[in-house]
Chain A
C-alpha cells in the first residue's frame, strides 16, 4: 500500500492550522471594523445600562465607550489590554464575571463545592438506604420474561381498576 510520507502530513496539518487560526485583529494603522469592536464590547458592561452588554447598549455613554475600543484597537492594543484599561477606568464591574481574586474567588468555588457536597450526601444516603433494604430482606432474584411488558401491564391493570 502506498504510504503518505510523514512530512507531507505534517505539512498538511500545519497548513490547516494556519488556515483555521483566527485572523490577527487589526494591525496598527488599519481602521478596525465594527465586528472587531463588537467582539470586545460584547464582553463588557457599562454602569449606565446595567446588565446590558456594551455592544447592544443604545445610550450615548456606551456609544462613546465603543468609540474608545475602536481607538485603542487602531492604536494596536490587544483585547486583554483594552479590557484591563476599562477595568482601571471604570472598575471591575465592567467585566462580565469578576476577576478571580480575593472574595471574588467565592464565585467560582462555591457552586462546584456545593454540588460536590450535595452529590456526596446523596450518594451516602442512597448507600445507607440500600444497605438497610438488603439487610431487611435478602434479594430474591426474580426475572420476569420481559420486565418491561410485565411492568406496563401491571400499571395498566392498576389504572383500569
Chain B
C-alpha cells in the first residue's frame, strides 16, 4: 500500500510539473494570467506531493521491507534507525527522489515571494524550474524507481519490477545488504543534503536568467533576485564541500582531506563559477557593467551542476564516490544537450540586448581587480574541467586509460591560488571608478610592511621552503588588510558618531553586511590557506611493524603500541582495535585507538584512525595490519598533519560570514 501511494504520488508530481510548465508557457505566450496563476499553484503543489513519496521511502526503509530492492540494497536489520532514515540518500534511486524533493521545496519557496513587480518573469521561471523538476522525476519513474520490488520467476531467477509480473512470487529476503560503511559517518549524513541543496538551488538563479533572456526584459530585476539566491546556494555548496572533505579526512583513512578525485573535482567546479559570479555581480551593482558576463556565469554555473551530476550518476566516471553504473545515462545526456544548446542559443540571440555601458577609468580600480579575480577563478575552473575531461578524451582517442591526478591539479592551481590571495589582499583597499596609484599604495603600505614580518620571522625560525613562505606571506597580507579595513571603518564611525569601538564595529558591519560578511569570508580563506599549506607542504608520515611495547618515532612524537583487542560489536561489525600511547617531546599526552571495523552486512572493512588533535597539528595513527597471533607484530602508519584544524576552523567562521552577508535586509 505504502509502495503504491509513494509511486503514484511520484507519477502525479511528474504530471503536475509537466502541466505547470505547459500552462505557464501557454499563459505567457497568449498573455492569459489565469493560466499563469494555475501554473503557479501547480508549482506549489509539487512539494507536498514529493513529500508523500519521500515519507513512503523513509517508511519502507525504517520498517525494513526488504522486498523493495532499494531497501534491500541500502539497509540491514542491525542498522540503527537514524542510519535507516539517512539511507534515503545512500543510493542512486533514493537520492534522486531526495534531490527532486529538495528542488520542489526550493522552487515552491521561490514562488512564495511577492511577484507583483515581476509579472513578466514569473511564467518563464515556472517553466524552467518545472521542466527541470519533471526531468529528475522522470529519471526516478522510468529508470531508478525506489519502489521497485523483487520477484521470483517460476524458473528460479529473479526480476525487479514495480508491479508483480505474471506467474512470479514475491521475493522477500530476511535481511538487506546494508549501507556502505563508509557512508555511516556524521559527515556523510549531512554532506549529501548540503551538496544537493547547493546544487539544486542554482536552478532558481538560472531560471530567472533564462526567464529574462526569453521575454527580453533584461533590466536588472533578475540579477537583484538572483543575487541572494546565489549566495544561499553558494553557502550550501560550500558547506557540502567542507563536510565532504571532513568526511574524507576522517573516514577514508588517506590522511588527506582532498584527493582530486574526479568526483570531488566535479563538486568543486560549479562552486568556482558561482564564486566568480558573487564577485563580478558587485561590479554590476556598483557600476552597471558586465551584464553579459554575469549572465554567462549564472548559466555556466547551472550547466556545470548538470554536467557534474551527469558525470557522477551516469557511470561515465568511476570513483569511490560515484554511483554504480546506471541506465539513466542516455536520457540525462539528452537533457544536458538540450539545456546547453538552448541556453547558448538564447544567450547569443540576446547578446546585443545584454550590452551594458562599460566605463573603466583605471586598471587599478576595484572593478578591474575583481575582473582579474574572475580570470583566476575561471582559470582554476578550466584546469579542473580539463583534468576531468582529458582521461575521457584520451580513452576515446587512443583506447588507453590515463590518470590525471593530484600532481597535475596542485601544480596548475597553486600559482592561481597565490594570485587570488594577492588580489584578495589588494582589492579591498582599491576604489571603484577613478583609482590611481597614490591612495592605493598609501593604504597598502602599512599592512604590506607588517605582512613582511611574517615570512621573516618564519625564515628565522627555520622554515626554508619558498612556496610555504610565499603562501604564509600572502595569507598574512590578506589577514592584515582585512583587519585593517574593519579597524579603519570602526575608527571612522567612532570619530564621527562617538560610538565606542565594539559598537562602531557592530554597526559598521550591520550597515554594509555584504561587504563585511565578505571580509569575514576572506579571513576564512586565510585560515584555510594556513591549513592547506600545513598539510600539503609539511605532512610527514612513517610506517612500521611493531611488537607490543615497541615504539615508533615521527618528529616530536613517539607512539608505543600497548595492546590489540578483537571483538564483535552490536552494530553488526567485527572490530579490531589497538591501544597506542602517544608521547610528545618525551611527555605522555594520551592514548589513541586506531581501529579496523569489518562489517558483516556489505562485507567491507573500514579503517578508522586514532587521532590526537590540537590546533597545532593532528597525529593520525592508523592500523594497517596485524599478525593472526596476538603476540605478533602489528603494522601502524602514523601521519602528522600540521595546522590542518585551521581548515575546519575556517569552515565554521565561513558559515558565520556567509550568514552575515546573506541575511535578509529589514524592510524599511
Which A residues are closer than 8 A to B by beta carbons? 33-35, 38, 45, 47, 49-53, 56, 58, 91-98, 102-104, 106-107, 110-112, 114-115, 118-119, 122, 126, 129-130, 132-134, 136, 139, 142, 147-149, 151-153, 155-156, 159-160
On whether A50 and B319 interact (CB within 8 A), knowing A107-B390, A129-B360, A155-B512, the answer reads yes
* Cα separation A93 to B395 with both chains bound (whole Å): 11
| A-B contacts, 8 listed (Cβ < 8 Å) | A34-B635, A35-B544, A38-B543, A51-B405, A56-B252, A92-B401, A102-B398, A119-B375
Chain A residues with CB under 8 A of B406:
96
Query: What 4 A-B pairs are tightest by C-beta distance, nearest first?
Result: A96-B405, A34-B543, A129-B360, A98-B402
Q: Mark B481-506, 1 if CB is under 8 A from A, else 0.
A: 00000001100100010000000000
- Using CB atoms, name the residue of chain B closest to A151: B431
**A45 close to B405 (CB less than 8 A):** yes
**B382 close to A115 (CB less than 8 A):** yes
Chain B residues with CB under 8 A of A95:
402-403
* Cα separation A52 to B383 with both chains bound (whole Å): 20
- Identify B375's interface contact among A58, A110, A122, A136, CB under 8 A: A122
Q: Mark B306-333, 1 if CB is under 8 A from A, else 0.
A: 0000000000001110000000000000
- Identify A56's interface contact among B253, B261, B262, B439, CB under 8 A: B253
Chain A residues with CB under 8 A of B319:
50-51
Chain A residues with CB under 8 A of B512:
155-156, 159
Distance between A13 CB and nearest chain B CB, rounded to angstroms: 14
Chain B residues with CB under 8 A of A34:
542-545, 635, 637
CB under 8 Å from chain A, chain B span 421-446:
431, 434, 439, 443
On whether A47 and B492 interact (CB within 8 A), knowing A58-B607, A96-B407, A126-B360, the answer reads no
- Identify B382's interface contact among A96, A114, A134, A156, CB under 8 A: A114
On whether A130 and B386 interact (CB within 8 A), knowing A93-B400, A93-B401, A107-B404, the answer reads no
**B542 close to A103 (CB less than 8 A):** no
Distance between A57 CB and nearest chain B CB, rounded to angstroms: 10
Chain A residues with CB under 8 A of B496:
153
On whether A118 and B379 interact (CB within 8 A), knowing A98-B402, A149-B492, the answer reads yes
On whether A45 and B371 interact (CB within 8 A), knowing A50-B319, A111-B386, A149-B492, the answer reads no
Known: A92-B400, A156-B511. 18 other contacts (CB 8 A): A34-B544, A34-B545, A51-B262, A51-B403, A52-B254, A92-B401, A93-B402, A104-B394, A107-B386, A110-B386, A122-B375, A129-B360, A130-B362, A132-B359, A136-B359, A149-B492, A153-B492, A159-B511
* Cα separation A6 to B542 with both chains bound (whole Å): 40
DSSP majority for the B interface?
mixed
The total of chain B residues at the interface (CB under 8 A) is 61
Asked whether B378 is an interface residue with its Cβ less than 8 Å from the other chain, the reply is yes
Distance between B324 CB and nearest chain A CB, rounded to angstroms: 13
Chain B residues with CB under 8 A of A133:
358-361
* Cα separation A49 to B635 with both chains bound (whole Å): 22
CB under 8 Å from chain A, chain B span 384-423:
386-387, 390, 393-394, 397-398, 400-408, 412, 416
- Identify B402's interface contact among A92, A119, A129, CB under 8 A: A92
Q: Mark B230-259, 1 if CB is under 8 A from A, else 0.
A: 000000000000000000000011110001
**B543 close to A118 (CB less than 8 A):** no
**B412 close to A111 (CB less than 8 A):** yes
- Using CB atoms, name the residue of chain B closest to A112: B412
Chain A residues with CB under 8 A of B488:
148
On whether A35 and B492 interact (CB within 8 A), knowing A110-B386, A130-B363, A159-B511, the answer reads no
* Cα separation A93 to B254 with both chains bound (whole Å): 20
- Using CB atoms, name the residue of chain A closest to B363: A126
Distance between A2 CB and nearest chain B CB, rounded to angstroms: 24
- Using CB atoms, name the residue of chain B closest to A38: B543
Asked whether B368 is an interface residue with its Cβ less than 8 Å from the other chain, the reply is yes
**B541 close to A35 (CB less than 8 A):** yes
Chain B residues with CB under 8 A of A152:
489, 492
Distance between B573 CB and nearest chain A CB, rounded to angstroms: 16
- Using CB atoms, name the residue of chain A closest to B402: A98
A-B contact count (CB 8 A): 144
* Cα separation A119 to B511 with both chains bound (whole Å): 35
On whether A45 and B434 interact (CB within 8 A), knowing A50-B319, A130-B361, the answer reads no
- Using CB atoms, name the residue of chain A closest to B254: A56
* Cα separation A159 to B325 with both chains bound (whole Å): 53
* Cα separation A159 to B255 with both chains bound (whole Å): 48
Chain B residues with CB under 8 A of A136:
359
**B261 close to A51 (CB less than 8 A):** yes
Chain B residues with CB under 8 A of A122:
371-372, 375
Asked whether B605 is an interface residue with its Cβ less than 8 Å from the other chain, the reply is yes
* Cα separation A156 to B101 with both chains bound (whole Å): 41
**A103 close to B404 (CB less than 8 A):** no
* Cα separation A45 to B489 with both chains bound (whole Å): 52
Chain A residues with CB under 8 A of B362:
130
Chain B residues with CB under 8 A of A126:
360, 363, 368, 371
Distance between B400 CB and nearest chain A CB, rounded to angstroms: 6
**A103 close to B361 (CB less than 8 A):** no
Chain A residues with CB under 8 A of B439:
147-148
* Cα separation A51 to B259 with both chains bound (whole Å): 8
- Identify A118's interface contact among B363, B378, B408, B635, CB under 8 A: B378
**B379 close to A52 (CB less than 8 A):** no
Chain B residues with CB under 8 A of A148:
439, 443, 488, 492
- Using CB atoms, name the residue of chain A closest to B554: A35
Distance between A124 CB and nearest chain B CB, rounded to angstroms: 12
- Identify B397's interface contact among A53, A103, A151, CB under 8 A: A103
* Cα separation A35 to B253 with both chains bound (whole Å): 17
On whether A50 and B318 interact (CB within 8 A), knowing A97-B405, A147-B431, A148-B443, the answer reads yes
**B382 close to A45 (CB less than 8 A):** no
Chain A residues with CB under 8 A of B511:
155-156, 159-160
* Cα separation A91 to B40 with both chains bound (whole Å): 56
Distance between A50 CB and nearest chain B CB, rounded to angstroms: 5
Chain A residues with CB under 8 A of B261:
51
On whether A115 and B359 interact (CB within 8 A), knowing A51-B261, A51-B320, the answer reads no
**A115 close to B394 (CB less than 8 A):** no
- Identify B379's interface contact among A94, A96, A115, CB under 8 A: A115
Distance between A141 CB and nearest chain B CB, rounded to angstroms: 8
**A53 close to B386 (CB less than 8 A):** no
* Cα separation A34 to B416 with both chains bound (whole Å): 35
Distance between B433 CB and nearest chain A CB, rounded to angstroms: 10
- Using CB atoms, name the residue of chain B closest to A102: B398
Chain B residues with CB under 8 A of A112:
412
* Cα separation A143 to B401 with both chains bound (whole Å): 61
**A97 close to B254 (CB less than 8 A):** no
- Identify B408's interface contact among A47, A51, A53, A97, CB under 8 A: A97
Distance between A64 CB and nearest chain B CB, rounded to angstroms: 14
* Cα separation A115 to B374 with both chains bound (whole Å): 12
- Using CB atoms, name the residue of chain B closest to A33: B544
**B407 close to A97 (CB less than 8 A):** yes
Distance between B187 CB and nearest chain A CB, rounded to angstroms: 18
Distance between B547 CB and nearest chain A CB, rounded to angstroms: 15
Chain A residues with CB under 8 A of B318:
50-51
Distance between A87 CB and nearest chain B CB, rounded to angstroms: 11
